[in-house]
């Protein structure tokens, strides 16, 4: 890695490093390391040609875009024309995209070069990166451990320097969880800020696309590239293009009201809590006001989340009926995907609607209100991202043990608010990420806290 | 035995674009799978566009036409109705909760109106699906079980399609676009639902068959169980649907990718202001405003375009003359050419000028009809058509010459007429018509013939008298 994202961009703009050289270096590293890491499922055969085109633009002083020459990894549940959007499943192993997801269009318009499709948990159903039909991803920051999921390939490729930035997706923590385990930066934007057109669904009312990056500025840059309304999508917030980079500087966290909750420690491994407490102290030292907030229903988020996501996933996967994409999902998918489909099919039955799905939507409203009340008193809420340290690859976990990884990340998805993760420290050499949850469209506050944390380490 | 029948009717709305994407809706005019995009083929990752505003407005207009109360200022969820069929690209169909309730047409209560989308078209023989139709907006109209006989059902469906076609917001039934499910129960029996009906005729036949079947069962003392049956067009019968189709649970969920609809009052008012007048109301108005007969008004409002044309023409010429022409000649010409009023290409002005010529007796009604025929075939100025057809008005001298010639060449007929055989006059008129190549007004011919014949008779009487007096003198 060596230099930060902005420095690299500058070097490319000044001609010290060409886009082609950058992509070549990335491909070289992938070639050397990815047999072990398994962060990519497929590489873009046109990446070098696209880099050449960027270099030509730069040479002629044409506008090449704010990501000009950066190598971008894309999660395999996003459509990139000509590449396979497999969702790391046998179901879609032969599905070649015929169109670019809106976020991919935006990245390309700003000169970003898609180097390949990242590995992930199958259909984003998992928190460890182990459910991919193409094999589990390793954690470069803690080899032999899970990188977290479901954006496992994204987190791992940033940690190993296999690309500059990644597009991940987060339905219940899928960006923040691997960011925490891999010690990188990740942001789950406010629901409705980033267009989902071209994202293959897990839970439509929860999914958001966001950046994974080695540093805060990289995340801010990628986020402002992909954020903002498109008239071609229905369920979006009425927000035009946003700018974070120009507003990151300033007083840092001085005077910022930062919320913490004793609830977090109840659910979290003490070793992780210790690291998080250290980070909170650091923020206090930097001038933030630490405020305790009440989150009495926090742990109800998990069952609520799994009911909602299962029903929506069941609905979303009905198109994989074996007639159009070759394979019927239920016939070829892994255990966790099947479990969610069957659960969704079961609880959406007419006679159970009031009992499960409707009830889950009510609890969701409750959790949203609770968080909104907390945000009346604070600008952000900080705490641990994942309650536990990542397990060793191959360890057998029960479904409930696996789901428990998501306790602290699902509330943000249920409430539709934003959240970011930055490395707070380590436990025995394994990274621990601080989660910063922000208000609806509070991305700037989240980025500011991360920026302050980054500067202080 | 009391019969209760209710309908669920699906009609395609006449919008240019599909419900959730920009693809065109003329699915019948193009090769299979050409009016398609990632959205209407449900490609992985595709998201619907916001619902087509025009189709929402069209559904509001249809609901208002049926006297429904539109549900305003409430969230109306668009739901996913899941079922597994090859023509469904995503494994679910989007259907809205009711957008309107409590209407009435022909004393049949309308329970509710929904927005839906059409699936693609599956060809089981070829094993192929054409997605051109996928996503075409539909309106679903649900009635209360107020219909008492197949005849009443047929009449209701006919009126319904006429009223809705009148709005211009649904595709004409000629396109085979109507689909209906019927619910039918006889006193003492369970309610039977019949699906798969694709026309008014089909609905009538399915109802006829079902009443017969259920009545016979009840007569024999057997129970009519609550079930769902399918109508078989080819055999005009209904058969039970398979168990699996019966137990189907659609697992409705609100579509997370679409904001629920909220129809505000102002929007409904706007639609109300712009919507066309219902045909039955327009009929009454035409009678009053133009003092034309109810019979003529009935014909005129049968098609909206015809009524529009009439009102444009009635501004320029005597409405009564226009009404007579619409009811008789225009309708006759259109029927003869198997055309509908929508197919009319001539302008209201052109028709007005023709009727003015008729009104001023510059042309005869018969000639007028000839011109009208040309006007329908190949619109241009009536005067021009008149010349082209060689119908230029005849000089009096020309007509006189023709009459004289006819009388001279047909002495036998003249003789017969003078002897009191009145039919001979028609024969002579025909001869004159022939001589003038149809340019002369038959009424003028007859008049002139009569004058000439009268004077002939007079002369003959005089000459006879002279002869007699000569004789007497002699």
Is the pLDDT assigned to residue B470 strictly greater than 90? no
Same domain, A265 and A241: no
- Among chain A residues, CA nearest to B21: A232
Q: pLDDT band for position A274 (50/70/90)?
A: very high
Same domain, A229 and A188: yes
Which residues, 6 or more positions from B244, have their beta carbon under 8 angstroms from its beta carbon? none
Is A200 in CB contact (< 8 Å) with chain B? yes
Contact (CB<8Å) A234/B90:
no
Is the pLDDT assigned to residue A1 strictly greater than 50? no
Is the pLDDT assigned to residue B400 strictly greater than 90? no
pLDDT digits (tens, 9 = 90+) for A48-62: 999 999 999 999 999
- What is the pLDDT, as a whole number, of residue A89? 98
Is B80 in CB contact (< 8 Å) with chain A? yes
Whether domain B396-473 has CATH 1.20.950.20: the reply is no
Q: pLDDT band for position B176 (50/70/90)?
A: low
- What is the pLDDT, as a whole number, of residue A95? 96
Cα separation, A197 vs A229, in Å, equals 11
Largest alpha-carbon pair distance within chain A? Answer: 66
CA distance B91 to chain A (A): 5
Same domain, A109 and A46: yes
Mean pLDDT confidence for B299-306: 89
In terms of pLDDT, which residue wins out, B386 or B351?
Answer: B351
- Give chain A positions within 8 Å (CB) of B84: 318, 321
Is the pLDDT assigned to residue B361 strictly greater than 60? yes
CATH number of the domain to which A401 belongs: 3.40.190
Asked whether residue A158 is domain-assigned, the answer is yes
- What is the pLDDT, as a whole number, of residue B247? 57
Is A330 in CB contact (< 8 Å) with chain B? no
- What is the pLDDT, as a whole number, of residue B276? 82
Cα separation, A177 vs B264, in Å, equals 43
Same domain, A14 and A114: yes
Is B411 in CB contact (< 8 Å) with chain A? no
Give the long-range contacts of residues B438-444, CB within 8 A, separation 24 or more: B438/B367, B438/B391, B439/B367, B439/B390, B439/B391, B439/B392, B439/B393, B439/B394, B440/B394, B440/B399, B440/B402, B441/B361, B441/B364, B441/B367, B442/B364, B442/B366, B443/B364, B444/B399
pLDDT digits (tens, 9 = 90+) for A298-327: 999 999 999 999 999 999 999 999 999 989
CA distance B29 to chain A (A): 25
Q: Could you tell me the residue range of the domain that residue A185 belongs to? A: 5-247
Asked whether residue A365 is domain-assigned, the answer is no
- Among chain B residues, CA nearest to A344: B251
Is A35 in CB contact (< 8 Å) with chain B? no
Of B21, B82, B94, B251, which to mutate for an interface test with A (greatest number of A Cβ within 10 Å)?
B251
Mean pLDDT confidence for A188-197: 98
Pick from B49, B86, B89: CB nearest A234: B49
Which residues, 6 or more positions from B243, have their beta carbon under 8 angstroms from its beta carbon? none
Same domain, A292 and A307: no
Cα-based angle A357, A363, A368 (whole degrees, multiple of 5): 125
Interchain CB contacts (distance < 8 Å): A and B = 81
Contact (CB<8Å) B46/A198:
yes
C-alpha distances out from residue A32 to A47, A139, A146, B293, Å: 18, 16, 20, 92
- What is the pLDDT, as a whole number, of residue B243? 57
Of A80, A169, A323, A358, which to mutate for an interface test with B (greatest number of B Cβ within 10 Å)?
A323
Is the pLDDT assigned to residue A145 strictly greater than 50? yes
The pair of three-digit structure tokens given for residue B285, joined into one six-digit string: 């108005």
Contact (CB<8Å) A99/B43:
yes
Q: pLDDT band for position B393 (50/70/90)?
A: low
Contact (CB<8Å) B259/A79:
no
- What is the pLDDT, as a whole number, of residue A40? 98
Is B47 in CB contact (< 8 Å) with chain A? yes
- Give chain A positions within 8 Å (CB) of B44: 79, 85, 87, 92, 95, 200, 319, 325
- Among chain A residues, CA nearest to B90: A319
CATH number of the domain to which A103 belongs: 3.90.1300.10
Q: Are A420 and A438 in contact (CB under 8 A)?
A: yes
Is the pLDDT assigned to residue B399 strictly greater than 90? no
Same domain, A215 and A312: no
Asked whether residue A430 is domain-assigned, the answer is yes
- What is the pLDDT, as a whole number, of residue B435? 83
With H, G, I as helix, E, B as strand and everything else as coil, classify residue B240. strand
How many structural domains are present in chain A? 3
> Which domain-ending residue is among A183, A218, A247?
A247
Mean pLDDT confidence for B416-434: 86
User: What residues of A act catalytically?
Assistant: 75, 150, 174
- What is the pLDDT, as a whole number, of residue B433? 83
Is A101 in CB contact (< 8 Å) with chain B? yes
The share of chain B scoring above pLDDT 90, in percent, equals 53
Contact (CB<8Å) A197/B47:
yes
Task: Please report, for chain B, the start and end positions of each structural domain, with discontinuous segments joined by +.
Answer: 3-270, 279-388, 396-473
Mean pLDDT confidence for B371-400: 82
pLDDT digits (tens, 9 = 90+) for B137-164: 999 999 999 999 999 999 999 889 888 8
Is the pLDDT assigned to residue A428 strictly greater than 80? yes
- What is the pLDDT, as a whole number, of residue A315? 97
Mean pLDDT of all residues in chain B? 89
Is A199 in CB contact (< 8 Å) with chain B? yes
- Give chain A positions within 8 Å (CB) of B122: none
Is the pLDDT assigned to residue A163 strictly greater than 70? yes
Is A196 in CB contact (< 8 Å) with chain B? yes
- What is the pLDDT, as a whole number, of residue B370? 86
The share of chain B scoring above pLDDT 70, in percent, equals 95
pLDDT digits (tens, 9 = 90+) for B208-261: 999 999 999 999 999 888 888 989 888 889 988 865 555 578 999 999 999 999
Same domain, A167 and A234: yes
């Amino acid at each position: 890695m060596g230099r930060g994202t902005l420095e690299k961009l500058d070097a490319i703009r000044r001609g010290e490093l060409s886009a082609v050289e950058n992509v070549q270096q990335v491909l070289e590293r992938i070639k050397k390391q990815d047999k072990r890491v398994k962060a990519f499922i497929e590489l873009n055969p046109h990446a070098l040609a696209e880099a050449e085109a960027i270099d030509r633009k730069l040479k002629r002083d044409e506008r090449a875009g704010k990501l000009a020459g950066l190598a971008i990894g894309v999660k395999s549940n996003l459509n990139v024309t000509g590449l396979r959007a497999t969702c790391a499943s046998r179901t879609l192993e032969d599905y070649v995209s015929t169109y670019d997801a809106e976020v991919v269009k935006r990245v390309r318009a700003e000169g970003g070069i898609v180097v390949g499709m990242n590995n992930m948990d199958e259909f984003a159903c998992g928190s460890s990166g182990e459910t991919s039909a193409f094999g589990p991803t390793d954690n470069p920051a803690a080899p032999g451990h899970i990188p977290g999921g479901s954006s496992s390939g994204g987190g791992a490729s940033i940690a190993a320097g296999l690309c500059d930035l990644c597009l991940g997706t987060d339905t219940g923590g899928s960006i923040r969880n691997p960011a925490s385990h891999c010690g990188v930066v990740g942001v789950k934007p406010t629901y409705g800020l980033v267009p989902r057109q071209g994202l293959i669904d897990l839970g439509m009312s929860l999914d958001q696309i966001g950046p994974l990056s080695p540093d805060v500025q990289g995340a801010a840059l990628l986020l402002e590239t992909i954020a903002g309304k498109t008239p071609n999508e229905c369920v979006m917030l009425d927000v035009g293009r946003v700018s974070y980079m120009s507003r990151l500087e300033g007083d840092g966290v001085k005077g910022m009201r930062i919320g913490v909750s004793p609830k977090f420690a109840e659910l979290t491994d003490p070793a992780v809590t210790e690291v998080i407490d250290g980070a909170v102290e650091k923020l206090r030292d930097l001038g933030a006001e630490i405020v305790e907030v009440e989150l009495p229903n926090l742990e109800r988020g998990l069952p609520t989340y799994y009911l909602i996501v299962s029903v929506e996933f069941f609905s979303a996967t009905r198109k994989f009926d074996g007639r159009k994409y070759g394979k019927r999902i239920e016939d070829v998918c892994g255990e966790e995907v099947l479990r969610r489909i069957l659960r969704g099919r079961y609880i959406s039955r007419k006679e159970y609607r009031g009992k499960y799905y409707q009830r889950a939507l009510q609890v969701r409203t409750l959790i949203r209100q609770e968080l909104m009340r907390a945000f009346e008193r604070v600008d952000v809420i900080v705490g641990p991202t994942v309650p536990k340290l990542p397990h060793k690859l191959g360890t057998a976990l029960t479904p409930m043990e696996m789901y428990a990884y998501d306790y602290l990340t699902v509330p943000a998805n249920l409430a539709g608010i934003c959240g970011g993760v930055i490395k707070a420290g380590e436990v025995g050499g394994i990274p621990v990420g601080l989660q910063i949850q922000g208000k609806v469209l509070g991305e700037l506050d989240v980025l500011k806290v991360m920026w302050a944390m980054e500067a202080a380490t | 035995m009391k019969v209760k029948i209710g309908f669920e009717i699906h009609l395609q709305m006449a919008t240019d674009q599909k419900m959730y994407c920009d693809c065109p809706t003329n699915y019948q005019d193009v090769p299979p799978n050409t009016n398609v995009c990632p959205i209407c083929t449900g490609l992985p990752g595709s998201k619907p566009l916001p619902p087509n505003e025009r189709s929402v407005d069209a559904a509001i207009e249809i609901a208002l036409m049926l006297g429904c109360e539109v549900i305003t200022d409430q969230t109306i969820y668009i739901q996913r109705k899941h079922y597994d069929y090859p023509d469904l690209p995503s494994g679910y169909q989007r259907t809205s909760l009711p957008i309107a309730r409590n209407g009435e047409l022909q004393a049949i209560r309308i329970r509710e109106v929904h927005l839906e989308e059409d699936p693609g078209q599956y060809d089981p023989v070829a094993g192929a699906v054409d997605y051109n139709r996928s996503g075409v907006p539909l309106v679903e109209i649900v009635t209360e079980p107020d219909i008492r006989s197949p005849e009443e059902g047929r009449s209701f469906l006919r009126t319904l399609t006429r009223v809705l076609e009148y709005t211009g917001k649904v595709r004409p039934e000629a396109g085979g676009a109507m689909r209906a499910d019927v619910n039918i129960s006889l006193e003492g029996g369970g309610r039977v639902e019949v699906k798969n009906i694709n026309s008014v005729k089909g609905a009538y036949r399915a109802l006829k068959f079902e009443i017969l079947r259920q009545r016979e069962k009840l007569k024999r003392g057997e129970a009519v169980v609550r079930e769902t049956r399918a109508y078989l067009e080819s055999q005009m019968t209904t058969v039970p649907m398979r168990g699996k189709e019966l137990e189907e649970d659609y697992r409705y969920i609100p579509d997370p990718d679409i904001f629920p609809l909220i129809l505000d009052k102002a929007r409904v008012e706007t639609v109300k202001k712009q919507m066309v007048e219902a045909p039955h109301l327009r009929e009454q108005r035409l009678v009053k405003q133009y003092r034309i007969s109810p019979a003529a008004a009935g014909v005129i409002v049968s098609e909206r375009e015809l009524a529009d044309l009439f009102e444009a023409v009635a501004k320029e010429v005597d409405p009564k003359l226009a009404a007579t022409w619409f009811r008789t000649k225009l309708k006759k010409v259109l029927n003869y050419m198997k055309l509908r009023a929508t197919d009319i290409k001539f302008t209201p002005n052109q028709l007005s000028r023709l009727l003015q010529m008729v009104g001023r007796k510059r042309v005869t009604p018969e000639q007028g009809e000839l011109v009208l025929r040309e006007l329908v075939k190949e619109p241009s100025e009536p005067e021009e058509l008149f010349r082209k057809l060689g119908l230029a008005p005849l000089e009096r001298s020309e007509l006189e010459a023709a009459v004289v010639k006819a009388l001279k060449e047909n002495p036998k007929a003249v003789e017969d007429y003078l002897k009191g055989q009145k039919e001979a006059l028609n024969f002579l008129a025909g001869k004159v018509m022939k001589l003038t190549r149809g340019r002369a007004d038959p009424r003028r011919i007859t008049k002139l013939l009569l004058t000439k014949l009268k004077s002939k008779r007079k002369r003959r009487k005089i000459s006879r008298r002279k002869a007699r007096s000569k004789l007497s003198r002699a």
